[in-house]
Amino acid sequence: MKLQISASIMCADPLNMARDLDILEKYDVEYLHCDVMDGMFVPNLMLSTEVCNAVSRKYRTPLDIHLMVEKPERVIPWFDMKAGDMVSIHYESTPHVQRALSMIRDRGASPVLAVNPATPLECVREVLPDIRMLMLMTVNPGFAAQKLIPETLNKIRRARTLLDELGYQDMPIEVDGNCSLVNIPKMAAMGANVFVVGSSSVFDKKLGIENGVKAVRSVFADCV
């Protein structure tokens, strides 16, 4: 499967977000990653519904909406969703996982299951028919610029094996957390396909966004 960029817009310059998103669209990143946090499921607040919907209206690039919220079925109706968008909920965030995934699908987007680093992969088995992608957190969610949890690399490999054995060879694995230029090759070697890139790569201030995207694409080419 093609390696893809999901650029985390919470790492954009908050005073110049439109400028930064214009650059991302110009360079054809595959997704604009929108982190939504409620201060309860994770200890942080981020990206309001209106910001996500405004981005959806202005840009042709599909959104990758990451709902880090308690009981996501409460908030799913607040978001504008369109074909091509990916919307993830956390397995740990609701006792009604399939209901939330179904709500996303009914609104025209592709449902994704996100799994925290300490959550066993076994939980994935029961919802594979309901999702289009699996997201593995490689840091504990809530903040940018965290260090990769080393054990999650093996978890990516085990997830790829599990999906393949169960007949889901075409299901991509997304990884979120310290997808740096150093870590992306390690993650790709384990079977990751979609990379949530932020302050450690595309939004690295030393590189600038244009050079950051080019650097990630160059790393992708070396992974083939």
Catalytic residue numbers? Answer: 35, 176
3-state class (DSSP) for residue 23: helix
Q: How far is CA 130 from the centre of its chain?
A: 17
Task: Give the C-alpha separation, 111 to 212, whole Å.
Answer: 28
Residue bearing tokens 């209206």: 57
3-state class (DSSP) for residue 43: coil
**Contacts of 211-216 spanning 24+ positions with Cβ under 8 A:** 213/5, 213/7, 213/23, 213/24, 213/27, 213/29, 214/27, 215/181, 216/5, 216/181, 216/184
